[in-house]
Structure 1
Amino acid sequence: MAISVSPAASESAASGFDSLGLSHPLLKALQEKGYTAPSPIQLQAIPAVISGRDVMAAAQTGTGKTAGFTLPMLERLNHGARPGRSQIRALVLTPTRELAAQVLDSVLEYSKHLQLTSDVVFGGVKINPQIQRLQKGVDVLVATPGRLLDLLQQGAVRFDRVEFLVLDEADRMLDMGFIHDIRRVISRLPDRRQTLMFSATFSAPIRKLATGLLDHPVQIQVAPANQTVRSVEQVVHPCDMRCKIDLLSHLIRSGEWLQVLVFSRTKHGANRAVERLSQQGLLAAAIHGNKSQGARTRALQGFKDGSVRVLVATDIAARGIDIQQLPHVVNLDLPNVAEDYVHRIGRTGRAGETGHAISLVAAEEALLLKAIERLTGETLRRENVPGFEPTILSAPPLDLSGGRGRRSGGSSRRRQVTHSTRTYRR
């Protein structure tokens, strides 16, 4: 069963959440958060999950998907028996620590009037406190795959009572190489369970993962695949690779931007950008996989409270950054995968606000830009910034083998070729 709904479908939700089968405690929590009308994904997913159906949903960040699976899951869990020692009843797998923490926050907010317990576990922090917390059992456990398997190996969790499995951002987990960990977890779960899978797209790898994992799922797609958000103004500023950080600094200062999320292709590039911006007096912080959990949490909190003006993130680390009115997103580097462009710019232009997505594009990234335009079906507006016009108009494409985003040429010979084939503006 496949369902496709457009964002406009939320306008028909005049009766609000009370028509979707949620009980009073959950409706009260939603009212206290000020939520009145379900989003398109919530309209379709909540009744399907409450009825016991498996769900496979294509939903981007910012569509309300977390509430779409959290609310009905809590509704069903509230009518069952409590977990025993080390048991869990609902398991939510996420690709990153930040997203795991965000999902737990949602679970805690929505279940505040229910007698349900919840917890989160991920790597980068000590495991013993997590083992101790899980001894009593927990209704909802949000986890990253690696740490969950560590806990399973140590006998800290039991899967025999799992009623729900949720794979959140399944496409990103596949991209990050978690497929074997996911299959190991699934092999230990009861056959009789309800499974929910949320992904940005219904790609071939996602459909392959879903085969045999979900039982005749309701398929939901809340918007046309890879469509960018219409409330986001998009522009490309052509420039030389070496001038990108200076151009970013100029844009922030001249535009008087107070909060901007910047995407870097690599961890090293994120660190370099933060160092340069800080030297120029802009409060900046980086968030990526090599940062400790404490450093990542402090950077994200500083960005939210305004003490950090510029947050520079890699694609993987940015999952879980959920800020409702983020005004500016800048692609310091274009992503290796065109679909990630849609994810990135979808973080602005929310809650009825107009967002701005700016891409700083060098000649080496011409093919990446073409791939994005081909995917989205849009030609992005080019606009030179005075003083930062590109001098290099043509260059060999970046070598993205291994996803490390290096320029072509690990050898001196290839570096010489790269240099000699550039075309300079006269």
Structure 2
Amino acid sequence: MSDTSLKALRGSAAIAGVATFGCGETPGFTDMELLARAARAAVRDAGLKMSDIDGICTASAAATMWAMPVVEYLGLRPRYIDSTMLGGSSFIAHLLPAMHALQSGQCNAVLVCYGSAQRSAQFGRREIGAARRWLDPQPYEAPYEPMQPLSSYALAASRHMFEFGTTRRQLAEVAVAARAWARLNPEAFMREPLSIDDVLAARMVSDPLSVRDCCLVTDGGGAYVLVRADRARDLPKPPVYVLGNATAVWNRQISSMHDLTVTAASQSGRQAYAMAGLSAKDMAVVQVYDAFTINTLLFLEDLGFCKKGEAGSFVENGGIAPGGHLPVNTNGGGLSCVHPGMYGIFALIEAVRQLRGDCGERQIAGAVTALAHGNGGTLSSQATAILGTAAAL
């Protein structure tokens, strides 16, 4: 599709409702039940009924045909279905195809939804990991039995440190900033104080990443509803318009990356900015997929917030914490708020909440633009969304 055609889609659709459910530890709920609770709440938040939903996007790491039982469980008969599975970036990657479906008249209201009981699941994490390896074989790396996905991200962190002089203390700044935001968010799972020294002294799990450099393992469901812009203006909540969206994949396995310090976010970000007619300097708030502290550094660079190799100094002295020069992961991110297997949908939901002014103590005053970025696999799939209020149209 040409750049002109993509720009014609700019602002053509808006997120009219968002919701989360069961973020943290929610024993007794299945993946489907968490998804359904979040889905129904998002539809209510949009001022709609489930009978209004005629499009659905969903994905799961535990099932290859997940959309079918979701449609059945929710009692839908959709005219548009997208079950593309790209890992944690899926729910941001779903935006542009859904916008096409809405613009063509194929459907009128698209529900994007996810749920995972990863923390409280009946089956242990080891069994879940084995099932995922069977569903997603990686022939060149699996025989060596790396501690995936952690080993891959540790490798990228080691390379960044070697090439640019990035330090463990700078990585720790990312975790401490995320916790500082989480302490302002009643929904966050971990809200205890966290210092740089706490991160540096934490148990090492895959050098150079300690346990505090790693995301949470939680339960949780998240959902949002996308409608055409003209319809969104008649619904109860302030519309959050999709100004740009792009997805890029360069590799599946970390060993196939051409450069361990450059991800496909450099492509998805560039294309999303072009569609939106904006750049990194125009973003008031930023939500990136922080499965590990190195993710945040890589994405800040690849998405244009600082030059390659400079993210370490960019985050120093609370640069991305409350009161810093760039608000990043204002809900606490995957490091301190919620991370039920795939985090991307929660980054998008937080961006929407910021633009609607719904974030209470952690609200960024006057925010009219936001970036939400999803990552899947081991720095494999990247999806970037640029969102804005009516003032940004």
The TM-score by the shorter chain falls in which range?
Answer: under 0.3
Q: Given the two structures, how large is their TM-score scaled by the length of structure 2?
A: 0.23
TM-score w.r.t. structure 1 length?
Answer: 0.22
Bigger RCO (CA 8 Å, 6+ sep) = 2
